[in-house]
Structure 1
């Protein structure tokens, strides 16, 4: 019963964060899900819920998507999904969490120091490739996109919509590949059903809050999310 309550609370706040900023569900949710379930089950549960979240939200914001950018992200991700699947199947999850946590903290420090990355078509594809690798491996595509786009001038509305459309693609591909090569179990799907109501509640409240978050607040939230996730991954490993 305690685990169910933790699951409901985590999913609610993670979906609220995702709906209000465009990032956060996997970044915040995955570390806590890893405490409740075995690693591969937690990663798969996160992907299922993230896919549901993307499906619930995409219709209402579809007109805000930057389709040329979305295309570059998707094409780049095709390079990263297979290596990511191999990491999911064979790499020790604690080692990978240390690598990712360290990377997130270092790059966030660079962002706070206002070290910027000029956006180019090639770098869009590279960001998509890294996000694809992280999705099929640990179910967390957000950090490379968040780090990359936070240093650009991309409007928060277009950023949220485009990344959400990208998630819809990459989560679906990752879920199919993980189930095909690594299997699944009943616990994952039962937990997914339990989490649907708090997921929807978080989406509704988050979309309301999105209207009141300006660019400066958005950027501060971004830094807090990244630092929290990086430190949590290091401690949890």
Structure 2
């Protein structure tokens, strides 16, 4: 592991984690979308367990920083969906290839972005939050990239509500996914060690988000959500066919 720190791949990992931490702290989502694909190429052992654990750690910082803005009703409905989906996803591991899962999820995310662009209004209601929580939990447990469905539900809300509630959701949801993976033997001590190794650069990026989150708070929530969600969908397709 020490050899990686001082290598070109190690530098690429650090840069990706800093950028991902800044995005997560600014929006409340997007950490694994930016970092997981690159890290999976460098070493497949980085996903899904270590990246889920690391994203959970970073989200704890985001949830604590804006705790007063966490919307508890939103959190309850979305987590209910995630509990069900994470359990199902863990059972589905091995039934289909990761490439098929990534392709299906990527196309679904892009379809949701297109529908939003043509005028579909997605509001944060109990039904949409439950559905988004379930889809996010299923995607995140299988691919480490599951933030887009929840983000799309929040595209018409304020930056603070989106950031705080999504960070809280991914803290609790990430723990649920990790538990589900552990129960089927897909998460252990080595995953914790890798997550700890990646934590310092991720938190450097998170601290930098104190400056970048102003963009989201200036009325650009929907634009940021659609751009990052599009990148998420394309990233999933790239994982499937690249």
User: 134-143 or 20-29, which moves further after superposition?
Assistant: 134-143
- Work out which of the residue numbers 6, 9, 16 in structure 1 matches 2:15: 9
Change (3 A) 1:235 1:58: closer
1:228/1:135 CA distance change after superposition, 3 Å? closer
Asked if structure 2 preserves the Cα contact closer than 8 Å seen for 1:89 and 1:182, the reply is no
Partner of 1:226: 229
Quote the residue 2:206 is aligned against.
203
Q: In the TM superposition, what is the alpha-carbon distance from 1:187 to its structure 2 partner?
A: 5.4
Report the Cα offset of residue 164 of structure 1.
0.8
Aligned-residue RMSD, C-alpha:
2.0
User: Do structure 1's residue 33 and structure 2's residue 39 form an aligned pair?
Assistant: yes
Once the two structures are superposed, residues 163-185 of structure 1 have per-residue CA deviations (whole angstroms, 9 ceiling, x without a partner) of 11111111011112212312346
Q: Distance in 2 between matches of 1:234 and 1:67?
A: 33
Contact 2:105 / 2:233 at 8 angstroms: preserved in 1? Answer: yes
2:185 is equivalent to residue 179 of structure 1: no
Query: Any gaps of 5 or more consecutive residues in structure 1?
Result: none
Q: Distance in 2 between matches of 1:223 and 1:117?
A: 12
Q: Describe the SS at the equivalent of 2:145.
A: coil
Deviation at 1:215, TM superposition (A): 4.8
Higher mean C-alpha displacement, 101-110 vs 209-218: 209-218
Gaps of 5+ in 2: 1-6
Q: Taking structure 2 as the reference length, what is the TM-score of the superposition?
A: 0.88
- 1:164 maps to what in 2? 167
Q: TM-score w.r.t. structure 1 length?
A: 0.89
1:59-97 CA deviation, whole Å, 9 max, x = no partner? 221111111111111122222111111233443101111
Contact 2:123 2:154 in 1 (8 A): no
Q: How many Å apart are 1:128 and its aligned residue?
A: 1.4
1:84 counterpart = 2:89: yes
In the TM superposition, what are the counterparts of 1:1-237 in structure 2 within 5 Å?
1-38=7-44, 41-150=46-155, 153-184=156-187, 188-237=191-240
